[in-house]
Amino acid sequence: MKLDRTLIDKDGIPTREEIRAYHEKNDITTAESLYDPETASDIKTRLFTKARNYMRDAWLAEMKRLGGKGSFTNFTGNYPPMLLAVTDENLIAGKVSDIMQNEEEIAMYIDVGLNILKEPIMTALTAYSSSKGKYLENLTDDEVHTVVDKIATEFLMKMTSILMDAQKVPELIKTSKEISDSEDFDESVIENYSKMDHDKAWNHTRSSVGEILSTDELTDDPESEFEPTVNALDNTESGEEAMLNEIAKGEQKELIKKFLKTLHKIDRKIFILRELGFVEDEIACYVDLSSHSSVSKRLSKIRVKYDEFMKKYNGA
């Protein structure tokens, strides 16, 4: 695909609105990178790989801030955010590796970059020299490089944020979560919770902690499907009892009640919410944990405790 050059050849930094308008007219996922692994030299391959890794780190960090997973470990190249990220990486890293083999272009872009970042670099250098009790002119080359690298990294993160906003990545993440496809997920990943959430949503599976609840014990009538609210599971026994009625019946319910008594209050909520169908991000918000990964770690420990509890209960 041949991209529209109106934005690429623009003098100066384009605005957020200009970038968004550009992406609405150009489908960059079909564009070809300047880097061709079949013909690239070893030097260009190293440059491309390094630039791509920088871009990947920035993209993932920003994606996590926007509500995504912050990792592509669970996904395949068919996952829309990953497809877009890879395209961005290849296009930008391809251009960077091309520039880095042309001395004239290197000099030009360094001048442009230093001009753009002159004020924040000088502010950062002044603050650093003051913190070290030095005059600005007495800073070593290593110290200057460290400060400049930090400002450059912050600039990369800022520009990545603008790019992803222009590409409507927040909307893409939301839509990809709501309308997922089995081909989005990497089958080889053990305990792929993203895929578990997808399977649960499309196959109406109620349990994601493990084979804890018998399907015979669960309500199959879609009309009776319970939609809990954050107010339903409070700190009272009656609130917990109401939730238990939704995930188990009879002897199974009594067994789970005994198991819950072995858990910390937060873990009890995590266990019940997971059985009710909440995904990890939602659970993290409700129990006030920092991230879905914190919930994942607790779920893993809960699963081990449950297995030990069942072995003891069954006299194994």
**pLDDT tens profile 74-126:** 899 889 999 999 999 999 999 999 999 989 989 988 888 888 889 999 999 99
C-alpha to C-alpha distance for 285 and 282, rounded to whole angstroms: 5
- Is the domain of 157 the same as that of 208? no
Q: What is the pLDDT of residue 275?
A: 81
Does 195 reside within a domain? no
- Is the domain of 118 the same as that of 257? no
Q: What is the pLDDT of residue 111?
A: 87
Residue 236 has pLDDT above 80, yes or no: no
Q: Are 222 and 201 in contact (CB under 8 A)?
A: no
Does 211 reside within a domain? yes
- Is the domain of 46 the same as that of 154? yes
Q: What is the pLDDT of residue 124?
A: 93
Residue 71 has pLDDT above 80, yes or no: yes
- Is the domain of 159 the same as that of 27? yes
Mean pLDDT to the nearest integer, 301-311: 87
C-alpha to C-alpha distance for 26 and 41, rounded to whole angstroms: 30
Q: What is the pLDDT of residue 89?
A: 92
Q: What is the pLDDT of residue 249?
A: 74
Q: What is the pLDDT of residue 7?
A: 55
Q: What is the pLDDT of residue 209?
A: 47
Residue 233 has pLDDT above 60, yes or no: no
Does 273 reside within a domain? yes
Taken in order 161, 164, 168, 170, the sign of the CA dihedral is negative
Buried b (16+ CB within 10 A) or exposed e, 35-62: beeeebeeebeebbeebbebbbebbbeb
Q: What is the pLDDT of residue 206?
A: 43
Would you list the DSSP string of 262-300?
A: TS-HHHHHHHHHHHTT--HHHHHHHHT-S-HHHHHHHHH
Q: What is the pLDDT of residue 10?
A: 53
Domain count along the chain: 2
Residue 242 has pLDDT above 80, yes or no: no
- Is the domain of 171 the same as that of 258? no
Q: Are 274 and 246 in contact (CB under 8 A)?
A: no
- Is the domain of 148 the same as that of 58? yes
C-alpha to C-alpha distance for 302 and 297, rounded to whole angstroms: 9
SS3 state of residue 180 = coil
143-201 pLDDT per residue, tens? 999 999 999 999 999 889 988 988 889 898 888 888 888 888 888 887 787 888 777 76
Q: What percent of the chain has pLDDT over 90?
A: 24
Q: Which of 156, 176, 196 is at the close of a domain? A: 176
Does 185 reside within a domain? no
Q: Which amino acid, one-letter code, is at 148? A: V
> Terminus-to-terminus CA distance in the chain, angstroms?
64
C-alpha to C-alpha distance for 296 and 274, rounded to whole angstroms: 11
Q: Are 104 and 199 in contact (CB under 8 A)?
A: no
- Is the domain of 116 the same as that of 256? no
* Helix and strand totals (H; E) in the chain: 13, 0
- Is the domain of 156 the same as that of 238? no
- Is the domain of 69 the same as that of 133? yes
Domain with 244, as residue range(s), is 204-313
Q: What is the pLDDT of residue 187?
A: 84
- Is the domain of 33 the same as that of 161? yes
- pLDDT band, very low/low/confident/very high, at 220 (cuts 50, 70, 90): very low
- Is the domain of 152 the same as that of 218? no
Would you list the DSSP string of 26-40?
A: --GGGPPPS--TTT-
3-class SS letters over 110-171: HHHHHHHCHHHHHHHHHHHHHHCCCCHHHCCHHHHHHHHHHHHHHHHHHHHHHHHHHCCHHH
- Is the domain of 86 the same as that of 166? yes
- pLDDT band, very low/low/confident/very high, at 230 (cuts 50, 70, 90): very low
Does 46 reside within a domain? yes
Q: What is the pLDDT of residue 224?
A: 36
Q: What is the pLDDT of residue 189?
A: 82
